Amino acid sequence: MNPTPRIACIGECMIELQQRHDGSLQQSFGGDTLNSAVYLSRELYGQGRVDYVTALGDDSFSEAMCRSWAAEGIGLERVQRLPGRLPGLYCIQTDAQGERRFLYWRNEAAVRDCFTTPAAAPILAALPGYDVLYFSGITLAVLGSVGREKLLEVLIEARQRGARIVFDNNYRPRLWASVEQARAAYRGVLQHVDLALLTLDDEQALFGFADSAAVFAAYADCAEVVLKRGAEPCLIRCAGESFEVPGQRVEKVVDTTAAGDSFSAAYLARRLLGGSPLQAAEAGHRLASQVIQFPGALIPRN
């Protein structure tokens, strides 16, 4: 692996509205792979390059997104700007325990044409040259069938060139026409994944697995599997070894948004920097425990 790896995170960033208890709204930006890209860039401490791959509009929100990403050190070369289009939007509502509920407006989001425009051709051609490609189940959903086919071609070529393919399962039923469609899309890419970052609840909802043992059995061909289980210890299988790594206790949970995204980012960063799976999981838990003590997906850099 390149000592200063180049990582491409593929997916969607949206306008984020956080609904406060008094009914007011706080506006920011977020999205699963974007959250991971930001935290990954922070956790690498300059020892790697993170580019974000998406499509936005030519509006003021899209412009503000790009400025905020650049401020985080994220590369914008693979970001398309589509005239007349807009990014998606979502609202976070949280209960007294910090558990969140999302409301989405994203059906016409620019990212849905990310891989189907003429401008996508050079981006698709460049992606196999990265050291790491990172995407999620939400990426699969928002790209659509044509975009998923193009992504699969990229994954195959990138892996042939020695790239590491990283997948976070993030299953959202509302983004799919049916559970059968989602299962087919997931199974189409999983055989090309090197590191699977899974949430147990999502695996059970999508595939109906009875327990963690069933999940690991289904991912037997994947070299490294991390099973996130909320506040419970995460489970890891790597190179024939298994680990159980407890999380960090948090006295008051404010908002669980991006807990899994931040864990995945810190885990991957530590692995890319030469850390063991155990060290990576500890880093993931540490960052996630900080994230859930703040509202919204992205906490202050300090």
Answer for the pair 33, 170: CB distance below 8 angstroms, yes or no.
no
242-251 LR contacts (CB < 8 Å, sep 24+): 243/277, 243/278, 243/281, 245/278, 245/281, 245/282, 245/285, 246/285, 247/285, 247/288, 247/289, 248/285, 248/286, 248/289, 249/289, 250/289, 250/292, 250/293
Q: What is the C-alpha to C-alpha distance for residues 12 and 211, in angstroms, rounded to an integer?
A: 30
Picking from 263, 210, 219, the residue whose alpha carbon sits closest to that of residue 237 is 219
211 is catalytic: no
Angle value at C-alpha 150, between 206 and 75, nearest 5 degrees: 95
Catalytic residue from among 32, 51, 255, 261 = 261
Q: Which residues are catalytic?
A: 261
